[in-house]
A = this chain, B = another copy of it.
Amino acid sequence: MWDDLIPIVEAGLDRYLTCAETCPRRLEEAMRYSVEAGGKRLRPVLVLMACEACGGAIEDAVPASVAIEMIHTYSLIHDDLPAMDDDDLRRGRPTNHRQFDEATAILAGDGLLTLAFEVIARNIQPAEVAISCVADLASAAGVEGMVGGQMADLEAEGRGLRAEGQEISASATSTLGPQLSALDQLEEIHLRKTGRLLRSSLTMGARVARAEPATVELLDHFGKCVGLAFQIADDLLDVTGDAARMGKGLRKDADHGKLTYPGLLGIDESRRRAESLIDEARCSIAALGDRGHRLDAVARFILERDH
């Protein structure tokens, strides 16, 4: 479905990860290690597809697609750190800090985050489009988006509350509330932790194609629905999936006492919720017609994937 787009993304990543002599070799190695670990490349592929769906040239969207994959990868490196989720494996290989060391992993993450903005600034034209991509990506990745979502997630798990003398925050308190509140909270965390970044894939692609604001909005809504459905599917795979395919220990979320959709709603209701979100996503891009057929296929794929 997007086999032809993957090589474009990989070539872009390789190109923009080729650092000058002044970058310490070990740092470049650590950044490449995690970026080249692969994964589905969902976010960068969505950037290219959104650009195509809005009538733009796919090549013009490569810098934005590379930037979002760099940001996604940095977030995985930092999330895996001992002070955060403390994971040893990611995509079947040792996590960055296990392969290198903690200091290198922190810096590799910082380096990727910073490089993402540089890639956009130096390679997207005209300046108005580049700056709107920087704004989209920064707010999606920042304290009101991904970083804030990770913080809320840690607080929900009660980890952020261990330090002495700190009050329990409002968002953490609500995990102690009734089920509805827990579901709202779960959705809010996902909307921020993974949803905002995924939405910015779509808006950046649309902006590179110089789409009208109304079209950017439609794609943003598509991204919101697909992002939530993707998370529900991920939770379902954690319960029902196969360890070898997933490349990580299964039932990790449940073992950590994390909130999950199947944990709150049961498997069947979670599946129904994902299906209805995908329907909503597909409706929101119907107006794009044939040009949107690949985005439509991605939406359907979310429900069918097994890893």
Chain A: interface secondary structure?
A: helix
Given the complex of chains A and B, what is the CA–CA distance between A31 and B125 in angstroms? 33
For window 3-59 of chain A, which residues contact chain B by CB distance below 8 Å?
19-20, 22-28, 31
Query: What is the count of identical protomers in the complex?
Result: 2
Are A27 and B130 neighbours in the complex by a CB distance under 8 Å? no
Are A26 and B83 neighbours in the complex by a CB distance under 8 Å? no
Given the complex of chains A and B, what is the CA–CA distance between A112 and B22 in angstroms? 25
Are B101 and A160 neighbours in the complex by a CB distance under 8 Å? yes
Given the complex of chains A and B, what is the CA–CA distance between A103 and B160 in angstroms? 7
Q: How many residues of A contact B (CB 8 A)?
A: 63
Given the complex of chains A and B, what is the CA–CA distance between A151 and B110 in angstroms? 11
- Residue A249 interfacial (CB < 8 Å): no
- Residue A170 interfacial (CB < 8 Å): yes
Contact of A26 among B107, B110, B155 (CB under 8 A): B155
Produce 1/0 per residue, A129-166, CB < 8 A to B: 01110110011011110011011101100011011001
Listed by A's residue number, 28 A-B pairs whose Cβ atoms lie within 8 Å are A24-B151, A25-B170, A26-B151, A26-B155, A27-B143, A31-B143, A78-B107, A81-B106, A83-B101, A100-B166, A101-B159, A101-B160, A103-B159, A104-B151, A104-B160, A104-B163, A114-B141, A114-B142, A117-B134, A118-B135, A118-B139, A121-B132, A121-B135, A121-B138, A127-B131, A130-B131, A131-B134, A134-B134
